[in-house]
Structure 1
Amino acid sequence: MAFRNLTRGLFQLANNRRLYSSISQQIFLRKPIVNQQRFIPFRSFASLQTNDDAYKDLNKFLEKEIQLEKTAQKHPSKLPKIQDFEVQSNGPEVVLTRQSGNEKVTVTFNVTNTVNTSDSEQEAELDAAGQPQASGDAAQPSAQLKSRPTFTVDINRGGQTLSFICSYLPYDYPSAPEHQQQGEDDGKNEQLEDFQIDEFAIHDGEWNEKVYSADCAVIDGELYDKLLNILEEHGIGEEFANQLIDHSTAYEHRQYIGLLEKLQQFSKK
């Protein structure tokens, strides 16, 4: 198995910066208007809408939005299966388990904030067909979105646990595999998903801050390949990666629709 170069994005740090200095300057430079030693308010509260009007407007929007999202669901009644794994979910968290001889394999992930529109745009650009979408696709805002969560793999053996933190490779990764869809003669290729190991550790109890973990970006390439082979032998390979995304995408979409329905109920109170 070829060694895959690991990369980490640092864009979150830049995106999360808040310009407190510029905000503070605006606050201190703004001077109140003084008229006979009395302060005049900057806005008239009589011009504001009432809360009831805002909730009614929100509820009217949600009626259409929820229907659009339900129409866009690819798996409205039954979630895609993940082969050889039992699936349990609790809110946004999903736990996959399987017994492999005397070892128990547990995969855990959370679908919150796992849909990235930029990833979906990259996938569309890398589509071999490269043809523009039909005009009808605009009515389905979530049709092209994918949930690509970071996931943890725990292999429990003899009272100890070998744990991995894994994340999906970006779409523009140079060695990302492709395959031609079966049963189609148009020659359209579909981008397969693959993942990388970010960290690994061995621990007796829970994996917490007291457990040392190794960053796989700096370990020996041959060791990294052997760790990938361990995961492959326990059913965590490319096929698993694609099945997990299918399941996570459908489940995240279901959670999002549920959130919109809760918001609608709140607006009706």
Structure 2
Amino acid sequence: MAFRNLTRSLFQLTKRTNINQRLYSSIQYSQQYRKFEITQRYFSIRKFSSIQTNDNAYRDLDTFLQKEIQLENTAQKHPTQLPNIQDFQVETKGPEVTLTRQVGDDKITVKFNVTNTVNTSESEQEVELNATEQQANNAPTQLKSRPTFTIDINRGNQILSFLCSYLPNEDPDTRNQHGGIENEQKPDGEQGHFLEDFQIDEFAIHEGEWNDKVYSSDCSVIDGDLYDKLLNLLEEHGIGEEFANQLSDFSTAYEHRQYIGLLEKLQKFVKK
């Protein structure tokens, strides 16, 4: 009896093992079959030959650029020679501009970049005034570049540095009271234009480069008399209202050239 029970137990164990093997085998087969079915089902959909390059966008852009570059070249105020900045030597490298001059023992260096400087400080009233004049004269929109710029006065082994920006154009009546706008009639009957002016945002004294390790003062919190004397110092070194207007005129013309150059590079790119 004991032998039969042992035999039965072994038989049941063997049967259970075979069932498990069958179940395991069926699962494996089902997974393999399903994987094969999925692979076979979706493989034919991914065809690299169906991906094609569409040149219509390039051709359309090229056609537009041909007209746009021609219009921008026609709209240049200074197509052959850039405006002059009196008493300063000018060096350009890409969008960067460096102005230098010598005043006694002091070397003056002004640096600015024309990128993203067009109409950055134009007031709403000036926008409306310019729009009215352009509609009356049927003239194209004239953009103005007013870059932020730095001034270095190198004296001995130290440098007095200023960070400057253009003032937003105020109400014409207010600027007229301060002598900031010309209202007299021009020979051709045109009205005078807004004169540019700038403000000192920060100043510092340092040796070497002006970086985050150099303390600088925000001019909005310094004494008013000190601020006026700093402006007088810059004026004596040839950096005043007239300089601000000449710099803006130069920056406007040079920025326009850089923009046309960018369009020409884009045109060469789309023609490849």
- Tell me, yes or no, whether TM beats 0.5: yes
SS at match of 1:104: strand
- Pairwise CA distance, 1:121: 5.8
Cα distance 1:71–1:173, how it changes in 2: closer, same or farther (>3 A)? same
- Pairwise CA distance, 1:123: 2.3
Q: Is there any run of 5+ residues in structure 2 with no aligned partner, and where?
A: 1-50
Measured against aligned partners, the alpha-carbon deviations of 1:216-249 in whole angstroms (never above 9, x if no partner) come to 0100000000000010000000000000000000
- Pairwise CA distance, 1:185: 7.0
Structure 1: which amino acid aligns with 2:142?
Q
Measured against aligned partners, the alpha-carbon deviations of 1:98-124 in whole angstroms (never above 9, x if no partner) come to 000111000000000001377276424
Largest Rg, 1 or 2: 2
Q: Is the 8 A contact 2:121 2:146 kept in 1?
A: no
Ranges of 4+ aligned residues in structure 1 off by more than 6 Å: none
Identity of aligned residues (%): 71
Q: Is the 8 A contact 2:163 2:203 kept in 1?
A: yes
Q: How does 1:233-244 map to 2 (within 5 A)?
A: 233-244=236-247
Cα distance 1:183–1:65, how it changes in 2: closer, same or farther (>3 A)? same
Q: Is the 8 A contact 1:120 1:145 kept in 2?
A: no
Counterpart in 2 of 1:133?
135
Cα distance 1:222–1:96, how it changes in 2: closer, same or farther (>3 A)? same
Q: How does 1:103-142 map to 2 (within 5 A)?
A: 103-116=106-119, 119=122, 122-126=125-129, 131=133, 133-134=135-136, 136-137=138-139, 140=140
Structure 2: which amino acid aligns with 1:231?
L
* Greater helix proportion: 2
Question: For the residues of structure 1 that align with 2:123 and 2:70, how far apart are their CA atoms?
Answer: 22
Q: TM-score, normalised by structure 2?
A: 0.74
Question: For the residues of structure 2 that align with 1:133 and 1:61, how far apart are their CA atoms?
Answer: 25
Query: Which fold has the larger relative contact order, with Cα–Cα distance below 8 Å and residues 6 or more apart in sequence?
Result: 1
**2:77 corresponds to 1:74:** yes
Question: For the residues of structure 2 that align with 1:135 and 1:190, how far apart are their CA atoms?
Answer: 15
Q: Is the 8 A contact 2:186 2:192 kept in 1?
A: no
Question: For the residues of structure 2 that align with 1:196 and 1:173, how far apart are their CA atoms?
Answer: 17
Q: Is the 8 A contact 1:103 1:155 kept in 2?
A: yes
Counterpart in 2 of 1:203?
206
Structure 2: which amino acid aligns with 1:147?
S
Q: Is the 8 A contact 2:91 2:99 kept in 1?
A: yes
- Pairwise CA distance, 1:158: 1.3
Q: CA RMSD in A?
A: 2.9
